[in-house]
Structure 1
Amino acid sequence: MEAFVRQHTTARTTEFVPEVVLRVAEDVTPLWELTGASEPPFWAFPWAGGQGVARYVLDNPHVVAGKRVFDLACGSGLVAIAAALAGAATVTACDVDEMALVAARINAEANGVSLAPLVADVLATTVDAEVVLAGDVFYDKDMAAAVEPFLHRATANGALVLVGDPSRPYLPKDRFERVAAYEVPVPRSLEGVTVLPTTVWRPAPTRC
């Protein structure tokens, strides 16, 4: 798997998060066909939501410094790496795609940090973390329906939860509070545009 990741990606500085170098593919469709997976190779690109969360964490290191951090649907590891660079005590990078954890490890090593890998679907559980980060997880209806309760449970369990979203239609904005907003550069091959307005949110307090 490591050879596959290295063969089909190139190491590049992330434009909106230049502190982080990632291995990035040229185009999603050819790589997806090569993987034969049911899901796109999320691990091969710096998605807008993840870039937003990574930027926020690096600009506000106090939110993760010295804390146990959990990166949900880590993909390339961008958000997890940013948390580690910002001084997190430990960072768990979690994804259901084993290839993502391979890519995240390669990227972490390139940035001089270490991550704790976890290949698992945790959405029906509550994780033991002080900070839960998620980049671009509201990309379709089914994922949104599964991830929102997870994020709210993490908040109820005492974690700081931050989620990055580039105006995907499935994030219920009435149940979240805006933390920060950015104009994030993205590959045109992924989004059809070169910049996406991206917001970092946290779950709103539960109304009694």
Structure 2
Amino acid sequence: MTSGDDDVTLGELDAQVTSWTAPGTAPLVPEVTLLLADDIHRTWSETDEAAPPFWAFAWAGGQALARCVLDRPELVVGKKVLDLASGSGIVGIAALRAGAASVVASDHDARARVATARNEALNGVPVEVVGDLVGESDLVVDVDVILAGDVFYEQPMARLMLEFLDEATGVGIEVYVGDPGREYLPRRRVEALATYDVPETSDLEGRAVTPTTVHRLI
């Protein structure tokens, strides 16, 4: 949450989320309904530079990861799941659709948390929404699986994410990441599970189709 968000009420955050978005679906994951920006440029320009509206878009990494758990439910079925840096919540919602026992969605952005709560209601699934967990001194989440979509796009965040995820794998938690080839993906630390061609990504990625891989952190 940014300092500016501290002075914004939950109702105001909810009004912002709904005014900048409309219900829709991501092309790779039609099973999940999301509040998505109807105008990427307007939405981006109207939000705080310190808190970009990542939650208002279905990013390639999240779409691929959501698709993967729907296609391979054995990754999450019956398990407690953490949707890390959840954004819109697409990954956690997909995990519940695939049979996860429970999902906690974590994001530092207050608007993302509001969007995830709205999206879980649209899909009729019970996601627990919490604040930022990365950077905590101790891993305090009781989960079996962590799903992280597109979290290695900038170096400081990638470093914090990898430290957190390393701690998770160290206590036996399975970690899966969806990534479209970001610069800071720890390539020597991952094992590819599946690759998807994510369509309709021109506005976000500068290309019509973005190949995106789901990896297991090893």
TM-score range, shorter chain: over 0.9
The count of corresponding residues between Structure 1 and Structure 2 is 204
CA distance in structure 2 between the partners assigned to 1:186 and 1:74 by the alignment: 21
Match of 2:110 among 98, 108, 127: 98
Q: Which runs of 5+ in 2 are unaligned?
A: 1-12
Which residue identity lines up with residue 154 of structure 2 in the other structure?
Answer: D
Deviations 1:87-111 (A, max 9, x none): 1111000000011011011111111
Q: Which residue of 2 aligns with 1:201?
A: 215
Q: State whether residues 54 and 82 of structure 1, in contact with CA within 8 Å, keep that contact through their aligned partners in structure 2.
A: yes
CA distance in 2, matches of 1:164, 1:186: 17
In structure 1, how many angstroms separate the alpha carbons of the residues matched to 2:86 and 2:111?
A: 11
Aligned to 2:47: 35
Q: Is the 8 A contact 2:201 2:210 kept in 1?
A: no
- How much has 1:37 moved relative to structure 2? 4.2
CA RMSD after TM alignment? 1.3
User: Alpha-carbon deviations, 1:16-60, whole Å to 9, x = none?
Assistant: 011111111134443233222413201000000001110010011
The correspondence for 1:184, drawn from 163, 175, 198, is 198
With normalisation by structure 2, the TM-score equals 0.89
Alignment match of 1:150 (pick from 150, 164, 167): 164
Alignment map for 1:32-181 (pairs within 5 Å): 32-124=44-136, 125-126=138-139, 127-181=141-195
One-letter amino acid matched to 2:120 = A
The separation in 2 between residues aligned to 1:123 and 1:179, in whole angstroms, is 27
Match of 1:4 in 2: 16
Q: Distance in 2 between matches of 1:147 and 1:186?
A: 27
What is the aligned-residue identity percentage? Answer: 50
TM-score relative to the length of structure 1? 0.93
Q: Which amino acid aligns with 1:26?
A: D
| Alpha-carbon distance, 1:121 to partner | 3.8
Deviation, structure 1 residue 179: 1.2
Letter matched to residue 30 of structure 1: R
Q: Judging changes above 3 Å, is the alpha-carbon distance between structure 1 residues 121 and 159 closer, same or farther for their aligned structure 2 residues?
A: closer
Contact 1:76–1:107 (Cα < 8 Å) also in 2: yes
1:123 and 1:175 map into 2 onto residues whose CA distance is 20
Q: CA deviation at 1:167?
A: 0.5
Q: Which runs of 4+ in 1 moved over 6 A?
A: none
Q: How many Å apart are 1:175 and its aligned residue?
A: 1.3
